[in-house]
Amino acid sequence: MRIATWNVNSITARLPRLLAWLEATGTDVVCIQETKTTAEQFPADELRELGYESAVHATGRWNGVALVSRVGLEDVVKGLPGDPGYDGVQEPRAISATCGPVRLWSVYVPNGREVGHAHYAYKLQWFEALKAAVAGDAGGSRPFAVLGDYNVAPTDDDVWDPALFVDSTHVTPAERAALADLRGAGLTDIVPRPLKYDHPFTYWDYRQLGFPKNRGMRIDLVYGNEPFAEAVTDSYVDREERKGKGASDHAPVVVDLDV
DNA sequence: ATGTCACCAGTTTGGTGA
Residue A151: nearest nucleotide (C-alpha to C1'): B18
Residue A245: nearest nucleotide (C-alpha to C1'): B5
A61 touches strand B (CB under 7 A): yes
Active site residue A149: yes
Q: Which domain holds residue A165?
A: 2-257
At A66, the pLDDT band (50, 70, 90 cuts) reads: very high
Active site residue A117: no
Catalytic residue among A28, A137, A149, A158: A149
Closest CA-bearing residue to C1' of B17 = A62
Other Cβ atoms closer than 10 A to A193? 10
pLDDT tens digits, A226-247? 999 999 999 999 999 999 999 9
* Residues A238-258, mean pLDDT to the nearest whole number: 97
- The gap between the terminal CA atoms of chain A, to the nearest Å, is 7
Please give the pLDDT value at position A189. Answer: 98
Please give the pLDDT value at position A222. Answer: 98
Rounded CA-CA distance A137/A78 in Å is 16
Catalytic residue among A52, A57, A108, A122: A108
Q: Kindly report the bases of strand B lying within 7 A of a protein C-beta atom.
A: 2-8, 17-18
* Residues A18-24, mean pLDDT to the nearest whole number: 98
Question: Which residues is A221 bridged to in the sheet?
Answer: A148
Instruction: Calculate the angstrom distance between C1' of B4 and CA of A121.
Output: 28
Instruction: Calculate the angstrom distance between C1' of B3 and CA of A141.
Output: 50
The 3-class SS string of A212-253 reads CCCCEECCEEEEECHHHHHHEEEEEECHHHHCCCCCCCECCE
User: What does DSSP assign to residue A164?
Assistant: G
At A252, the pLDDT band (50, 70, 90 cuts) reads: very high
**A128, A78, A137: which is closest to A102 by C-alpha?**
A137
* A219: CATH: 3.60.10.10
* Residues A191-204, mean pLDDT to the nearest whole number: 97
pLDDT tens digits, A199-226? 999 999 999 999 999 999 999 999 999 9
In total, how many domains does chain A have? 1
pLDDT tens digits, A100-151? 999 999 999 999 999 999 999 999 999 999 999 999 999 999 999 999 999 9
Residue A208: nearest nucleotide (C-alpha to C1'): B3
pLDDT tens digits, A86-107? 999 999 999 999 999 999 999 9
Mean pLDDT of the residues in chain A: 97
Active site residue A206: no
pLDDT tens digits, A38-57? 999 999 999 999 999 999 99
Amino acid at A176: R
For the annotated binding site of A for Mg(2+), the residues are: 7, 34, 149, 151, 249-250
